[in-house]
Structure 1
Amino acid sequence: MMEQVNKYADRYFGNEDEHLQHILKTIEEHGMKNISVSNATGKWLTLLATLKQSKKALEIGALGGYSGLCIARGLAEGGTLLSLELEPEYAKLAKENLMRAGYGEVVDYRIGDALTSLKQLKEDQETFDFFLIDADKERYKHYLDACVDIAEDGAVIVMDNVLVLGGVADETVKDSLPEHLQERTRIMREYNEYVAQHPHLFSVLLPIGDGLICSIVKK
């Protein structure tokens, strides 16, 4: 059912313009696995960043620049996005795509381990008002804790892929998944419970794409 709902939403509300389509094309051309956010999720990121009037955003996981472009489009005038990416070739492609779309001066890329970068940002007393966590799921909890540490009061944190194809909510679905996704389901169940009970987060889970948690930081 959720797959049908998502297809319906994408058909009417997830239209991709030429720049987003180009990003997906370049990801394929470079032999990268297309694990970008869904088109509906991308529009949601633009909407949230716009409503927040974000001045200083951060994303964990650049890939080819799809989510980065969606966030950049929602930034307030003069706003910036810092993108943390482990793989140099991903960051290079993302930068090229953002430059092509006219946002090259808005986004900065920091290559390397994201937790190391987040630790350095905390030491430098940097703060941000908008976050996207979309990287290796095994470290989501660590990413979240690090983001909360450098978040402004009232910051928005978006976390992608929290439903694992519905496996977190349905044991039958979980049992039908490949072994590595069953393990991811276990991890994300624990993570979702952690977020729901976090004393400094007001959160909601949305069945968009493969599931999003959107949180507001309350310090």
Structure 2
Amino acid sequence: MLNTIWKDVDDYLVDKLIPSDQILEGVLQTNKEAGIPEIDVSPTQGKLLYLLAKIKGAKNILEIGTLGGYSSIWLARALPETGKVYTLEVEPQYAKIAKQNIQNAGCASKVEVIVGKALDTLPTLKDNDLLFDLIFIDADKPNNPHYLKWALELANNGALIIGDNVIRNGEVIDKKSEDERVQGVRQFMDLLEKEPRLESTAIQTVGSKGYDGFVISFVK
């Protein structure tokens, strides 16, 4: 019953606050037809990322985990004309579809899709002296601790670091969990707790994506 209410409320919020967008709806349909897992952020979450990027005045954004490019497009739309999203995707087929979706959305000039394991491609960003105003971590959860360490390497002072899927239907509190995704999130949280360069909070969310949440950190 609760899950039905969460979905219905999300639908209400989208209807009231997020205008119908054929491009973004088409991205989700294209991804579904291509067999890409339906684990994108929800429209309300995508708009939250968009607003956070706008509030921050972000010019360079790093996204770890592209999937089909849905969140990449939300982030790109928040950028000024000279802004750029660098988004990392391990699966070549997903990256190919994401590039086409991004092109169809008119965001190709603002988004660079980098294909390969993120832990292999992140050092190349460092080598090119790229620094970021907002970093969105939404990839394989066991590597979240590593992604956070790289995010700190690549963040400007005052940057936002946002991590998705950190509640995992409440399983994050189970220290004995045998799910490596849960343990990856727990290690991520341990690093946030001890990291003096970050001020962090977490927001539990419910909605069309079930019961989960975001971590938001500010780089001092």
- From 75, 82, 89, the equivalent of 1:85 is 89
- From 166, 179, 198, the equivalent of 1:162 is 166
CA contact (8 A) 1:55 1:77 kept: no
Equivalent position SS for 1:212: strand
User: For residues 43 and 86 of structure 1, what CA distance do their matches in structure 2 show?
Assistant: 25
Please report the TM-score for the alignment, with normalisation by the length of structure 1.
0.88
Aligned to 1:190: 187
Unmatched 5+ stretches in structure 2: none
RMSD: 2.2
Q: Evaluate the alpha carbon distance shift between residue 4 and residue 11 of structure 1 in structure 2; reply closer, same or farther with a 3 A threshold.
A: same
Is 1:20 the equivalent of 2:24? yes
CA contact (8 A) 1:131 1:156 kept: yes
Equivalent position SS for 1:83: strand
Residues 66-215 of structure 1 mapped to structure 2, 5 A cutoff:
66-169=70-173, 182-208=179-205, 210-215=212-217
Runs of 4+ in 1 over 6 A off after TM superposition: none
Instruction: Between 96-105 and 15-24, report the one with greater CA deviation.
Output: 15-24
Give, in angstroms, the shift of residue 184 of structure 1.
Answer: 2.5
CA contact (8 A) 2:144 2:184 kept: no
Give, in angstroms, the shift of residue 6 of structure 1.
Answer: 4.2
Residues 54-73 of structure 1 mapped to structure 2, 5 A cutoff:
54-73=58-77
Larger relative contact order (Cα-Cα within 8 Å, sequence gap ≥ 6)? 2
Aligned length: 211
User: For residues 183 and 143 of structure 1, what CA distance do their matches in structure 2 show?
Assistant: 15
CA contact (8 A) 2:142 2:180 kept: no
User: For residues 63 and 36 of structure 1, what CA distance do their matches in structure 2 show?
Assistant: 7
C-alpha distance after superposition, 1:76-119 (max 9, x if no partner): 33211111111111111111111111111110111111111111
Give, in angstroms, the shift of residue 149 of structure 1.
Answer: 0.3
CA contact (8 A) 2:143 2:184 kept: no
Q: Which amino acid aligns with 1:152?
A: N
Aligned to 2:50: 46
Give, in angstroms, the shift of residue 190 of structure 1.
Answer: 2.9
Please report the TM-score for the alignment, with normalisation by the length of structure 2.
0.87
Q: Which amino acid aligns with 1:10?
A: D
Give, in angstroms, the shift of residue 163 of structure 1.
Answer: 0.3
Equivalent position SS for 1:168: helix
User: For residues 134 and 56 of structure 2, what CA distance do their matches in structure 1 show?
Assistant: 8
Equivalent position SS for 1:167: helix
Give, in angstroms, the shift of residue 4 of structure 1.
Answer: 6.1
User: For residues 2 and 142 of structure 1, what CA distance do their matches in structure 2 show?
Assistant: 35
Unmatched 5+ stretches in structure 1: none
